[in-house]
Chain A
Protein backbone atom coordinates (compact mmCIF):
# COMPACT_ATOMS: atom_id res chain seq x y z
CA UNK A 1 0.00 0.00 0.00
CA UNK A 2 1.29 3.47 -0.95
CA UNK A 3 0.63 6.76 0.79
CA UNK A 4 -1.29 8.70 -1.85
CA UNK A 5 0.73 11.90 -1.47
CA UNK A 6 3.97 9.94 -1.83
CA UNK A 7 2.58 8.29 -4.97
CA UNK A 8 1.78 11.77 -6.36
CA UNK A 9 5.29 13.01 -5.57
CA UNK A 10 6.72 10.14 -7.64
CA UNK A 11 4.38 11.03 -10.51
CA UNK A 12 5.47 14.67 -10.26
CA UNK A 13 9.12 13.62 -10.45
CA UNK A 14 8.60 11.58 -13.63
CA UNK A 15 6.11 13.96 -15.27
CA UNK A 16 7.26 15.83 -18.36
CA UNK A 17 4.52 17.53 -20.39
CA UNK A 18 1.62 15.18 -19.69
CA UNK A 19 -1.91 16.40 -18.98
CA UNK A 20 -3.01 15.08 -15.57
CA UNK A 21 -6.75 14.77 -14.94
CA UNK A 22 -7.48 14.20 -11.25
CA UNK A 23 -10.57 13.77 -9.10
CA UNK A 24 -11.43 14.28 -5.44
CA UNK A 25 -8.61 13.50 -2.94
CA UNK A 26 -5.96 13.01 -5.63
CA UNK A 27 -7.02 16.31 -7.20
CA UNK A 28 -6.93 18.18 -3.88
CA UNK A 29 -3.45 16.85 -3.17
CA UNK A 30 -2.14 17.28 -6.71
CA UNK A 31 -2.84 21.02 -6.63
CA UNK A 32 -0.53 21.30 -3.59
CA UNK A 33 2.13 18.73 -4.48
CA UNK A 34 2.51 19.37 -8.19
CA UNK A 35 0.89 22.64 -9.29
CA UNK A 36 0.90 22.77 -13.08
CA UNK A 37 -1.23 24.57 -15.67
CA UNK A 38 -1.80 21.18 -17.33
CA UNK A 39 -3.56 19.81 -14.25
CA UNK A 40 -7.25 19.32 -15.10
CA UNK A 41 -9.51 19.08 -12.06
CA UNK A 42 -12.68 20.64 -13.52
CA UNK A 43 -14.68 17.44 -13.71
CA UNK A 44 -17.90 18.81 -12.21
CA UNK A 45 -19.65 15.58 -11.23
CA UNK A 46 -18.58 12.33 -9.59
CA UNK A 47 -17.36 9.60 -11.92
CA UNK A 48 -16.71 11.91 -14.83
CA UNK A 49 -12.90 12.28 -14.72
CA UNK A 50 -12.16 9.42 -17.09
CA UNK A 51 -14.66 10.81 -19.61
CA UNK A 52 -13.23 14.35 -19.54
CA UNK A 53 -9.84 12.73 -20.06
CA UNK A 54 -11.12 10.79 -23.07
CA UNK A 55 -12.23 14.04 -24.69
CA UNK A 56 -8.81 15.56 -24.01
CA UNK A 57 -6.97 12.50 -25.33
CA UNK A 58 -9.02 12.39 -28.54
CA UNK A 59 -8.74 16.13 -29.01
CA UNK A 60 -4.97 16.21 -28.46
CA UNK A 61 -3.55 12.89 -29.66
CA UNK A 62 -0.08 14.44 -29.52
CA UNK A 63 -0.29 14.81 -25.71
CA UNK A 64 -0.27 12.00 -23.15
CA UNK A 65 -3.21 12.15 -20.74
CA UNK A 66 -2.86 10.59 -17.28
CA UNK A 67 -6.09 10.17 -15.28
CA UNK A 68 -6.04 9.83 -11.50
CA UNK A 69 -9.50 8.33 -11.04
CA UNK A 70 -10.99 7.07 -7.77
CA UNK A 71 -12.32 3.57 -7.18
CA UNK A 72 -15.73 4.90 -6.08
CA UNK A 73 -15.66 7.27 -9.03
CA UNK A 74 -14.90 4.49 -11.49
CA UNK A 75 -17.72 2.37 -10.06
CA UNK A 76 -20.04 5.28 -10.79
CA UNK A 77 -18.98 5.38 -14.45
CA UNK A 78 -18.01 1.77 -15.09
CA UNK A 79 -19.24 1.86 -18.67
CA UNK A 80 -16.48 4.37 -19.38
CA UNK A 81 -14.03 1.44 -19.38
CA UNK A 82 -15.79 0.06 -22.48
CA UNK A 83 -16.14 3.50 -24.06
CA UNK A 84 -12.42 4.19 -23.58
CA UNK A 85 -11.34 0.74 -24.77
CA UNK A 86 -13.54 1.15 -27.86
CA UNK A 87 -12.20 4.62 -28.65
CA UNK A 88 -8.71 3.21 -28.00
CA UNK A 89 -6.69 6.42 -27.54
CA UNK A 90 -3.02 5.49 -27.63
CA UNK A 91 -2.16 8.46 -25.38
CA UNK A 92 -4.43 7.50 -22.47
CA UNK A 93 -3.18 6.27 -19.07
CA UNK A 94 -6.03 5.45 -16.69
CA UNK A 95 -4.82 5.23 -13.08
CA UNK A 96 -7.30 4.34 -10.36
CA UNK A 97 -6.36 5.32 -6.82
CA UNK A 98 -7.86 2.32 -5.03
CA UNK A 99 -8.37 3.26 -1.38
CA UNK A 100 -11.51 1.14 -0.94
CA UNK A 101 -13.40 4.15 0.32
CA UNK A 102 -15.54 7.14 -0.54
CA UNK A 103 -12.92 9.17 1.29
CA UNK A 104 -14.24 12.62 0.35
CA UNK A 105 -17.78 11.68 1.36
CA UNK A 106 -17.13 10.48 4.90
CA UNK A 107 -14.70 7.61 4.31
CA UNK A 108 -17.46 5.02 3.92
CA UNK A 109 -16.18 1.82 2.28
CA UNK A 110 -17.05 1.19 -1.37
CA UNK A 111 -19.17 -1.91 -2.10
CA UNK A 112 -16.94 -5.02 -2.04
CA UNK A 113 -13.97 -2.97 -0.89
CA UNK A 114 -10.75 -4.88 -1.41
CA UNK A 115 -12.50 -7.71 -3.26
CA UNK A 116 -12.85 -6.13 -6.70
CA UNK A 117 -10.15 -6.62 -9.34
CA UNK A 118 -10.29 -3.34 -11.25
CA UNK A 119 -7.43 -4.41 -13.54
CA UNK A 120 -9.41 -7.51 -14.59
CA UNK A 121 -12.43 -5.31 -15.30
CA UNK A 122 -10.31 -3.05 -17.48
CA UNK A 123 -8.79 -6.05 -19.27
CA UNK A 124 -12.23 -7.55 -19.89
CA UNK A 125 -13.44 -4.19 -21.22
CA UNK A 126 -10.62 -4.21 -23.75
CA UNK A 127 -7.65 -2.27 -22.31
CA UNK A 128 -4.62 -3.89 -23.91
CA UNK A 129 -2.29 -3.21 -20.96
CA UNK A 130 -3.11 -3.34 -17.25
CA UNK A 131 -1.00 -3.06 -14.11
CA UNK A 132 -1.54 -3.40 -10.37
CA UNK A 133 0.93 -1.49 -8.22
CA UNK A 134 1.03 -1.53 -4.45
CA UNK A 135 4.47 -0.24 -3.49
CA UNK A 136 6.14 3.09 -3.99
CA UNK A 137 9.32 1.44 -5.22
CA UNK A 138 7.43 -0.50 -7.88
CA UNK A 139 5.56 2.68 -8.97
CA UNK A 140 8.84 4.59 -9.20
CA UNK A 141 10.41 1.79 -11.24
CA UNK A 142 7.51 1.11 -13.61
CA UNK A 143 6.17 4.61 -14.19
CA UNK A 144 8.66 5.75 -16.89
CA UNK A 145 7.75 2.72 -19.03
CA UNK A 146 4.02 3.09 -18.33
CA UNK A 147 4.17 6.69 -19.54
CA UNK A 148 5.55 5.45 -22.84
CA UNK A 149 3.25 2.46 -23.35
CA UNK A 150 0.72 2.44 -26.15
CA UNK A 151 -2.66 3.06 -24.58
CA UNK A 152 -5.18 2.85 -23.33
CA UNK A 153 -3.24 1.64 -20.29
CA UNK A 154 -4.89 0.86 -16.96
CA UNK A 155 -3.05 1.10 -13.63
CA UNK A 156 -4.60 0.10 -10.32
CA UNK A 157 -2.72 2.00 -7.61
CA UNK A 158 -3.26 0.61 -4.10
CA UNK A 159 -3.22 3.71 -1.91
CA UNK A 160 -4.09 4.97 1.54
CA UNK A 161 -4.27 8.49 2.94
CA UNK A 162 -0.94 10.12 3.66
CA UNK A 163 -0.24 13.62 4.87
CA UNK A 164 -3.32 15.86 5.08
CA UNK A 165 -3.61 18.76 2.62
CA UNK A 166 -6.21 21.56 2.74
CA UNK A 167 -9.33 20.92 0.66
CA UNK A 168 -10.47 23.60 -1.76
CA UNK A 169 -13.34 22.57 -4.03
CA UNK A 170 -13.66 26.08 -5.45
CA UNK A 171 -10.11 25.78 -6.75
CA UNK A 172 -10.79 22.31 -8.21
CA UNK A 173 -13.77 23.49 -10.25
CA UNK A 174 -12.55 27.04 -10.93
CA UNK A 175 -13.44 28.39 -14.37
CA UNK A 176 -10.42 30.71 -14.14
CA UNK A 177 -8.06 27.74 -13.77
CA UNK A 178 -9.93 25.83 -16.49
CA UNK A 179 -9.35 28.73 -18.87
CA UNK A 180 -5.67 28.78 -17.84
CA UNK A 181 -5.55 25.07 -18.63
CA UNK A 182 -7.05 25.65 -22.11
CA UNK A 183 -4.56 28.38 -22.80
CA UNK A 184 -1.60 26.31 -21.55
CA UNK A 185 -2.72 23.32 -23.61
CA UNK A 186 -3.12 25.44 -26.73
CA UNK A 187 0.43 26.68 -26.32
CA UNK A 188 1.98 23.33 -25.52
Chain B
Protein backbone atom coordinates (compact mmCIF):
# COMPACT_ATOMS: atom_id res chain seq x y z
CA UNK B 1 0.00 0.00 0.00
CA UNK B 2 1.51 3.31 -1.09
CA UNK B 3 -0.36 5.01 1.74
CA UNK B 4 1.57 3.01 4.33
CA UNK B 5 4.89 4.43 3.15
CA UNK B 6 6.45 7.37 4.91
CA UNK B 7 8.70 9.43 2.68
CA UNK B 8 11.74 11.06 4.27
CA UNK B 9 11.95 13.68 1.51
CA UNK B 10 8.37 14.78 2.19
CA UNK B 11 9.04 15.13 5.92
CA UNK B 12 12.19 17.16 5.27
CA UNK B 13 10.29 19.35 2.82
CA UNK B 14 7.58 20.08 5.37
CA UNK B 15 10.14 20.89 8.08
CA UNK B 16 11.81 23.40 5.77
CA UNK B 17 8.48 24.92 4.78
CA UNK B 18 7.69 25.34 8.48
CA UNK B 19 10.69 27.68 8.71
CA UNK B 20 12.98 25.33 10.60
CA UNK B 21 16.67 25.42 9.82
CA UNK B 22 18.13 24.46 13.20
CA UNK B 23 17.96 20.73 13.93
CA UNK B 24 19.04 19.56 17.39
CA UNK B 25 19.53 15.82 17.46
CA UNK B 26 20.64 12.66 19.12
CA UNK B 27 20.52 9.69 16.74
CA UNK B 28 17.39 7.56 16.78
CA UNK B 29 17.32 4.30 14.85
CA UNK B 30 13.91 5.08 13.31
CA UNK B 31 14.95 8.43 11.83
CA UNK B 32 18.77 8.34 11.57
CA UNK B 33 19.31 6.78 8.17
CA UNK B 34 16.92 8.72 5.96
CA UNK B 35 16.22 11.89 7.94
CA UNK B 36 19.15 12.83 10.18
CA UNK B 37 21.93 11.71 7.85
CA UNK B 38 20.24 13.57 4.98
CA UNK B 39 19.89 16.69 7.13
CA UNK B 40 23.56 16.52 8.12
CA UNK B 41 24.42 16.78 4.40
CA UNK B 42 21.85 19.48 3.63
CA UNK B 43 23.27 23.03 3.69
CA UNK B 44 19.79 24.38 4.51
CA UNK B 45 20.11 22.86 7.97
CA UNK B 46 22.41 23.63 10.87
CA UNK B 47 22.47 20.40 12.88
CA UNK B 48 23.50 20.61 16.53
CA UNK B 49 24.41 17.17 17.83
CA UNK B 50 23.84 16.71 21.56
CA UNK B 51 25.15 14.16 24.04
CA UNK B 52 21.86 13.90 25.94
CA UNK B 53 18.34 14.81 24.93
CA UNK B 54 17.57 17.23 27.79
CA UNK B 55 20.33 19.49 26.48
CA UNK B 56 18.37 19.68 23.26
CA UNK B 57 15.19 20.88 24.97
CA UNK B 58 17.18 23.80 26.38
CA UNK B 59 19.11 24.53 23.18
CA UNK B 60 15.78 24.79 21.32
CA UNK B 61 14.56 27.19 24.03
CA UNK B 62 17.66 29.35 23.72
CA UNK B 63 17.18 29.42 19.96
CA UNK B 64 13.55 30.49 20.47
CA UNK B 65 14.68 33.32 22.74
CA UNK B 66 17.06 34.36 19.97
CA UNK B 67 14.22 34.40 17.42
CA UNK B 68 14.71 31.05 15.67
CA UNK B 69 12.60 27.97 15.09
CA UNK B 70 14.14 24.56 15.67
CA UNK B 71 13.32 20.86 15.82
CA UNK B 72 14.57 18.36 18.41
CA UNK B 73 15.00 14.84 17.00
CA UNK B 74 15.29 11.91 19.38
CA UNK B 75 14.13 8.42 20.25
CA UNK B 76 11.24 7.93 22.68
CA UNK B 77 13.77 6.73 25.27
CA UNK B 78 15.37 10.18 25.13
CA UNK B 79 12.01 11.80 25.68
CA UNK B 80 11.53 9.62 28.76
CA UNK B 81 14.99 10.68 29.96
CA UNK B 82 14.11 14.35 29.44
CA UNK B 83 10.85 14.54 31.37
CA UNK B 84 12.15 17.04 33.95
CA UNK B 85 13.49 19.38 31.29
CA UNK B 86 10.25 19.05 29.36
CA UNK B 87 8.39 19.91 32.56
CA UNK B 88 10.51 22.88 33.66
CA UNK B 89 11.91 24.25 30.42
CA UNK B 90 9.26 23.51 27.80
CA UNK B 91 5.93 23.36 29.67
CA UNK B 92 6.36 25.64 32.71
CA UNK B 93 8.89 27.79 30.87
CA UNK B 94 6.49 28.19 27.94
CA UNK B 95 8.92 27.33 25.19
CA UNK B 96 7.62 26.00 21.85
CA UNK B 97 9.95 23.02 21.74
CA UNK B 98 9.01 20.93 18.69
CA UNK B 99 10.08 17.30 18.87
CA UNK B 100 10.29 14.54 16.28
CA UNK B 101 10.30 11.34 18.29
CA UNK B 102 11.01 7.91 16.87
CA UNK B 103 8.98 5.11 18.40
CA UNK B 104 11.55 2.35 18.03
CA UNK B 105 9.93 -1.07 18.08
CA UNK B 106 6.34 0.08 17.58
CA UNK B 107 4.42 -2.43 15.54
CA UNK B 108 3.28 -1.05 12.12
CA UNK B 109 -0.35 0.00 12.06
CA UNK B 110 -0.74 -0.37 15.83
CA UNK B 111 -1.56 2.64 18.00
CA UNK B 112 1.32 3.50 20.36
CA UNK B 113 -0.90 2.91 23.40
CA UNK B 114 -1.63 -0.60 22.08
CA UNK B 115 2.03 -1.45 21.52
CA UNK B 116 3.51 -4.47 23.24
CA UNK B 117 6.59 -2.37 23.96
CA UNK B 118 6.13 -0.87 27.42
CA UNK B 119 8.22 2.23 26.68
CA UNK B 120 6.24 2.99 23.53
CA UNK B 121 2.91 2.31 25.23
CA UNK B 122 3.47 4.94 27.95
CA UNK B 123 4.63 7.80 25.72
CA UNK B 124 1.23 9.27 24.85
CA UNK B 125 -0.16 9.01 28.42
CA UNK B 126 2.97 10.81 29.68
CA UNK B 127 2.63 13.55 27.08
CA UNK B 128 -1.09 13.84 27.93
CA UNK B 129 -0.30 14.14 31.63
CA UNK B 130 2.11 16.97 30.81
CA UNK B 131 -0.36 18.68 28.49
CA UNK B 132 1.95 18.31 25.50
CA UNK B 133 0.14 18.04 22.17
CA UNK B 134 1.23 15.11 20.01
CA UNK B 135 0.55 13.75 16.54
CA UNK B 136 1.23 10.43 14.85
CA UNK B 137 3.43 10.42 11.79
CA UNK B 138 2.99 6.88 10.53
CA UNK B 139 2.04 7.06 6.86
CA UNK B 140 2.39 9.56 4.03
CA UNK B 141 -1.15 10.72 4.81
CA UNK B 142 0.19 12.09 8.12
CA UNK B 143 2.91 14.27 6.60
CA UNK B 144 0.61 17.29 6.03
CA UNK B 145 0.10 17.47 9.81
CA UNK B 146 3.67 18.64 10.32
CA UNK B 147 3.46 22.30 9.28
CA UNK B 148 0.22 23.10 11.16
CA UNK B 149 1.54 21.36 14.29
CA UNK B 150 4.76 23.39 14.24
CA UNK B 151 2.88 26.60 13.49
CA UNK B 152 0.49 25.98 16.39
CA UNK B 153 3.38 25.30 18.78
CA UNK B 154 4.94 28.68 17.96
CA UNK B 155 1.58 30.50 17.93
CA UNK B 156 0.62 29.13 21.35
CA UNK B 157 4.20 29.02 22.73
CA UNK B 158 3.78 25.40 23.79
CA UNK B 159 5.81 22.25 23.17
CA UNK B 160 4.65 19.63 20.69
CA UNK B 161 5.70 16.11 19.71
CA UNK B 162 5.49 14.34 16.34
CA UNK B 163 5.58 10.61 17.02
CA UNK B 164 7.18 8.72 14.14
CA UNK B 165 5.76 5.22 14.07
CA UNK B 166 7.79 3.70 11.23
CA UNK B 167 11.06 4.34 9.46
CA UNK B 168 10.71 7.01 6.77
CA UNK B 169 12.36 5.97 3.47
Contacts and interface: CB of A to CB of B under 8 A. Distances in A.
Contacts of B64: 55
Given A44-B88, A48-B89, A175-B93, A55 B63 contact: yes
Interface string B94-113: 10000000000000000000
B99 to A, nearest CB: 15
Given A54-B62, A55-B63, A185-B65, A44 B55 contact: no
- Do most interface residues of chain A lie in helix, strand or loop, or is the interface mixed? helix
B93 A185 contact: no
Given A45-B85, A54-B48, A55-B60, A83 B55 contact: yes
B92 interface: yes
A59 to B, nearest CB: 3
Contacts of A43: 58, 89
Interface in A41-79: 42-45, 47-48, 51-60, 77, 79
B75 interface: no
A173 B93 contact: yes
Contacts of B22: 58-59
Interface string B29-71: 0000000000000000010111110111111111111111010
A40 interface: yes
A40 B89 CA distance: 13
B46 A58 contact: yes
Interface in A151-187: 173, 175, 178, 181-182, 185-186
Contacts of B88: 44-45, 48, 173
A58 to B, nearest CB: 7
Contacts of B56: 51
Contacts of B17: none
Contact of A42 (B50, B57, B93): B93
B104 to A, nearest CB: 21
Interface residues of A, number: 31
B54 A77 contact: yes
A147 to B, nearest CB: 19
Contacts of B85: 44-45, 48
Contacts of A110: none
A142 interface: no
A87 interface: yes
8 A-B pairs with the lowest CB-CB distances in the bound complex, closest first: A55-B62, A59-B66, A79-B51, A51-B58, A44-B88, A44-B89, A45-B88, A55-B63
Interface of A: 40, 42-45, 47-48, 51-60, 77, 79-80, 82-83, 86-87, 173, 175, 178, 181-182, 185-186
Given A56-B65, A60-B66, 8 more contacts: A40-B65, A45-B58, A52-B61, A54-B58, A55-B62, A58-B59, A79-B55, A186-B67
21 contacts: A43-B58, A44-B85, A44-B90, A48-B85, A51-B54, A51-B55, A51-B62, A52-B61, A52-B62, A55-B59, A55-B61, A55-B62, A55-B65, A56-B65, A58-B46, A58-B59, A59-B63, A59-B65, A59-B66, A59-B68, A186-B67
